[in-house]
Amino acid sequence: MIPASKTFKDALLTSHRAETRVHVMQPTTSNTFEQVATVAVSQGSLTVDGRRNIWRQGSLTLAPADVYSPPLVDLVGEDTRLIVERGITAPNLVTEWATIATLQVMSVKQSLNTGGLVVEVSDPMVNVRDYPLILPWSPLDDEGNKLTTVDAIKHLVAECLWDAPVWIVDDTVDTAQIPPEGTVFQGARMNAVNELAKGIGAFVTVTPDGKWRIGKAPADSTPVAEFVTGPGGVVISEDVTRSRSEQYNAVPLRWEGPESSGLVFLVDDDPDSPTYWDGPFGKRPSSEQRVDTVTTQAEAMDAARTLLDELRGYTASVNFKSVHNPLIEPFDRITVDVLGSRETHVVDSISLPLAGGEMSCETRKLVEGASYALHG
């Protein structure tokens, strides 16, 4: 969840006025960005989807402050960064701002009818997508020494960027693991980054304030917000789906190391779970998985556990619209009403209007008390 004060969070549940502004950041000769203007957003939307390589994408219409301001088209170009802030004005008339995205400008279109500037944006991960590996690449430094998986990810990302990335590595990420002997990547750089991250059960993304994060989904299942119906609730409409079509209770994952190899077959071993392997749900393993950067059984168990956490969650999914909360992010745990009961769900994606209106959100159920075991 994006940090904000208690006043900001409380105002989201009461009467308030919301607005959006962007700080226009232009590149400098010192390989940094400097702020050159702050302008309002008259309309637009931002989608944040943790299932994609590029989490944040959107379209903004920027409005000039007044007729005397410099033309926006002269300030915003394809090399510009935009820092998007959401402002909440509570009944006390004090406005507080929270940064909800740092975005790379992808295209700019001038509207002569409105005087606004329509800007298509993506988060800076787009730079990794756009720069493929020109030659086959191995996770080695300039002296030929092996890089750790974390350092290999940092190297692949830094090569794409004009400015120096600032990194956040979650405490739960294994920073000592080394990719297996003979690891070589070619073609799509994004695939190399994702494959390395999978090997340590992690993901790579850009945070709202523009830092680069190697992280894991939080182990703490405590909800950070409530999206409920009824008096005092914020949910406007809701669709609930229960399906087993994409939901499994076992994961076979093959691993191969320099001296040994094998297959782990991890199953839901919790008798109280609705997807218990030996229960009425049935025995439904996913297709065999393989992660080339996993070289030991312990690493394979960790990767399979991460996959099974996701695959078991689709037993119940919710798509709802609610009063906007710009602080919610993918992998956040929230409380939702589902068919008369309250459940803890994991947020997959959010679509946030930037000029008023309700947000929409897609979630999947978080199955509590998971217990996994090797089959056989």
Which residues, other chains included, contact 299 with Cβ-Cβ below 8 Å and sequence gap of 6+?
Answer: 177, 199, 200, 255
**Does residue 1 form part of some domain?**
no
Q: Within this chain, do residues 84 and 141 fall inside the same structural domain, yes or no? A: no
Do 189 and 232 belong to one domain? no
- Of 171, 189, 215, the domain-final residue: 215
Which sign does the torsion angle of CA 326, 327, 332, 337 carry? Answer: negative
- What integer is the mean pLDDT of 147-165? 95
Domain stops at, among 73, 95, 123: 123
Does residue 314 register a pLDDT over 80? no
Copy the structure tokens of residue 336: 């939702």
Q: Is the pLDDT of residue 90 over 90?
A: no
- Domain span at residue 172 reads 127-215
Calculate mean pLDDT across residues 285-300. 84
CATH number at residue 169: 3.55.50.10
Confidence (pTM)? 0.83
Tell me the per-residue pLDDT of 204-221, one tens digit each, with 9 for 90 and over: 999 999 999 999 988 777
- pLDDT exceeds cutoff 90 at 167: yes
What's the confidence (pLDDT) of residue 342? 84
**Residue pair 357/324 in contact by the 8 Å Cβ criterion:** yes
Domain edge (last residue) among 88, 103, 123: 123
- Residues contacting residue 134 through CB under 8 Å, at least 6 positions apart: none
Q: Has residue 256 been placed in a domain?
A: yes
Q: What letter does residue 288 receive in the DSSP assignment?
A: P
Q: Supply the mean pLDDT for the chain.
A: 86
125-134 pLDDT, tens digit per residue, is 999 999 999 9
For 17-31, the pLDDT digits (tens) are: 788 999 999 999 999
